[in-house]
Chain A
Amino acid sequence: MAPQPPKYSTVSIPYTLHDRIEKMISKKTGFKSVSDYVTYVLREVVAMHESKEVPEPFTVKDVEEIKSRLKALGYL
């Protein structure tokens, strides 16, 4: 079994931002900590950027072949 990599890393953010987040999440937002909130926001933003870089997973040849099958099955 491969050794387990560490699960968490530390990222620096300005204290002022940290305090704003802390204040905001204290108002029943469901986030347990500033780290929780920052992780949530970053996941959302990173996923948005990543999804823009992914091309359609098929070629022009695939499209023609699959369109024929879809027509034969009555989907097109």
Chain B
Amino acid sequence: MAPAPHGGRLVQIAQIEASPEKTKELSENLKVVISNETRVAIFNISNGILSPLSGFMSFNDYENVLDSMRLSDDTPWTIPLLLHVPEDFKAGTGDEITLVNQADGSPTAVVSFEESFSISKREYAKKVFGTEDEAHPGVAKIYSMSSKVVSGSIRAVSKFPLNATFERFTLTPKETRILFQEKGWKDIIAFQTRNAPHIGHEYVQKTALAFADGIFINPVLGKKKQGDFKDEAILSAYQALVSNYYPKNSVVLSVLHYEMQYAGPREAIMHAIMRKNFGCTHIAIGRDHAGVGNYYGPYAAHEIFKEFPDLGITALFFREFFYCNKCMGIANEKICPHPESERLTFSGTKLRKMFLSGERPPKEFMRPEVSEVILKMKDAFVE
């Protein structure tokens, strides 16, 4: 049986009824324009990926998350989920707010107003990201937001727009839980990624898979940094890897629509919570998980799991892997005695340079079928 959803319940929020009366009602509500990131978060709340949250955080939850990395009912939770509103926004008890999509002005969700409060953006940055440095992408983002926020539960949502390719690979927690049950899987490893797979990734996945019934490969799709692989490249590369190198019925490949926050250890816990809601029992955590630059220690994301005995999903910790010419295979510093000169490290920067110059990476670095898919794409990287 899959682990219980986080906080004990899998949140499900109904879709906005499509009727002229409803459209009129929504147009009469207070309105808040939201970013694509908030829209994605609403989608994830509505289908239970962010359970037990059913809306935007209250002040009590916010303060608890910052100070204790827990919701106000003691449930582990490490990154606040806030609805930022303009500084002059005013609402009162009983008000309903229509959240409007920034891109086309369409209604995305209806929120029942509960309270409004102001946050200290510096405190947020320091506690969530461990730094107030504006060069950190997460810090820069919170500094760019309004400090006024509103809490409230989401009553209804509109259908999340997905293109046909991504829709086929988008599963909800309810669907994955039933899928795992039908497959007879009990021990399920989650693998979070934002990259096309090289041999090091495959090694981690297969090492974990050797002790489990199945692996849930769950690449993150959404806004990325310049030079990152594009969503289409990541998905196609994984399809090539899974179809050529994994036993049938050992893998579920499905995408997660989510914007990385680069909050390192705190974000690693959120990644685990989301995968627990999908029904996974374990999650692979590698070196510098959810990190950026040099803001976090290479294994800070391993250490933080010690603080959550009640997380309800077990982390499997992996160190950095490399290819060793002497060992003639993948190794890590714990099992390989050879000098660095014998080691080929899996550097994303090196890989990107090779692809941009039309060069095929060596087979010790990436499976030829995976390289082929990427080389065939005109623009595999975010510009």
Contacts and interface: CB of A to CB of B under 8 A. Distances in A.
B291 to A, nearest CB: 22
23 contacts: A1-B59, A1-B115, A2-B59, A5-B60, A5-B72, A43-B309, A46-B310, A51-B4, A54-B8, A54-B9, A56-B2, A57-B5, A57-B9, A57-B177, A58-B174, A62-B174, A66-B179, A70-B175, A70-B178, A70-B182, A73-B168, A76-B182, A76-B183
Contacts of A40: 309
B117 interface: yes
A1 B310 contact: no
A54 B4 contact: yes
Contacts of B2: 56
A51 B3 contact: yes
A47 B310 contact: yes
B69 to A, nearest CB: 12
Interface string B236-269: 0000000000000000100000000000000000
Contacts of A47: 309-312
- Give 9 nearest A-B pairs by CB, closest first: A47-B310, A54-B4, A44-B309, A57-B10, A43-B310, A51-B4, A66-B178, A1-B59, A66-B175
Q: How many interface residues does chain A have, given as a range?
A: 20 to 34
Interface residues of B, number: 35
Contacts of B132: none
Nearest to A63: B178
Interface in B159-206: 168, 171, 173-175, 177-179, 181-183
Interface string B267-302: 000000000000000000000000000000000000
Contacts of A63: 178
Contacts of B68: 7
B1 A56 contact: yes
Nearest to B4: A54
B310 A58 contact: no
B306 interface: yes
